[in-house]
Amino acid sequence: MNLAEFTPFFNMNLRRFLDELDLYEPLKEVVSYTPLAGGKRLRAYLVWELSRFTGFGEENALKTGIAVELFHSGSLIHDDLPAIDNDTIRRGLPSSHVKFGECKAILAGDFLMLYPSKLLSSLDIESSSKLTLLKLWQETSLEVVKGEFEDVFPENKSREQMERIHGSKTGSLFGFCFAAPFAGRKEEKFVQMRQLGLRFGKLFQMMDDIKDVTSTETELGKTPGKDGKQDKLTILSFESLEEAQMKVKEIFLGLLEEIDEFSDLSREMVNVYDLIARR
């Protein structure tokens, strides 16, 4: 299944999952809004596709993908808040705090970032594998928050700090997606896949930095040019647009070689790269 086929399949299952949540209806409305607003579902797709090579299981892959997408949506809600990035548009729609007010948005974001632990705890896998996965999830979720703080409050604004922010805020969640299906495999492979995901996440963030200055609001689904206005640390803080684009392509080709053992995914990643580059 390629990403274009996976996205509607995943969206259908995500909607069903959210509809079946036993929640106070006003809370369910706010909680469901951002996850269902759209997105490429790349993180969930990576879990799904890599699970085919490990015997992780479709049900476990789907639950894990939903957990990741819920957490990601919660982080976006918080990211858009007036006290942080103050963005009024997300995925082409009014941001959660614009639609529902800050208080409801904050609480919905809290719920979405906390609930995945419960979902991951329900996976049908060996206890030892589940413990490995939950430990990684705890570390991953904390890394995202640490990266967000450093992104908003950088100190020395060095390349090293930018790399650290990219690795925590974006790379860590991709690292989890790459590693999760391998929780029951040898530790060496689990660690290797996580590192591969971390590097892909950094690449993804660099591409996002580039798109911020080359795309329109319609293309991005959010306000363009905000990184520069807010003096955020990005790859363009240190390299020209042309240099950054060349570096991104070079890193991507290197990653392709590393995932060559997953032949179907390797081929699809070329399409994914094109999709990210023009999103």
Q: Are 164 and 150 in contact (CB under 8 A)?
A: yes
Q: Which residues contact 63 (CB under 8 A, 6 or more apart)?
A: 119, 120, 122, 123
Among residues 3, 1, 6, 129, the alpha carbon closest in space to that of 60 is found at: 129
Among residues 188, 224, 199, the alpha carbon closest in space to that of 209 is found at: 224
Distance (Å, whole) CA 276 – CA 274: 6
Q: What is the pLDDT of residue 186?
A: 86
Distance (Å, whole) CA 154 – CA 231: 10
Distance (Å, whole) CA 85 – CA 226: 8
Q: What is the pLDDT of residue 134?
A: 97
Q: Are 35 and 69 in contact (CB under 8 A)?
A: yes
Q: What is the pLDDT of residue 274?
A: 76
CATH number reported for the structural domain that contains residue 225 in this entry: 1.10.600.10
Distance (Å, whole) CA 186 – CA 164: 27
Q: What is the pLDDT of residue 277?
A: 65
Give pLDDT tens digits along the chain (279 positions): 889 999 999 999 999 999 999 999 999 999 999 999 988 899 999 999 999 989 899 999 999 999 999 999 999 999 999 999 999 999 889 999 999 999 999 999 999 999 999 999 999 999 999 999 999 999 999 999 999 999 999 888 899 999 999 999 999 999 999 999 999 888 889 999 999 999 999 998 998 888 888 877 666 666 666 666 677 888 988 989 889 888 888 888 888 888 777 767 777 787 777 767 655
Domain that holds residue 36: 3-278
- The total number of structural domains in the chain stands at 1
Q: Is 25 exposed, middle or buried (0-12, 13-18, 19+ CB in 10 A)?
A: exposed
Q: How many CA atoms lie within 13 A of 116 on its CB side?
A: 27
Q: What is the pLDDT of residue 228?
A: 64
Beta bridge partners, 94, equal 89
Q: What is the pLDDT of residue 220?
A: 65
DSSP label at residue 235: G
Mind giving me the DSSP string for 244-278? HHHHHHHHHHHHHHHTTTSHHHHHHHHHHHHHHHH
Instruction: Pinpoint the alpha helices (H) of the chain.
Output: 3-19, 25-33, 42-51, 58-80, 96-100, 102-121, 127-152, 159-165, 172-179, 187-214, 217-220, 226-229, 241-258, 263-278
**In this structure, what are the phi and psi dihedrals at residue 126, rounded to the nearest 5 degrees?**
-55, 145
Q: What is the pLDDT of residue 15?
A: 98
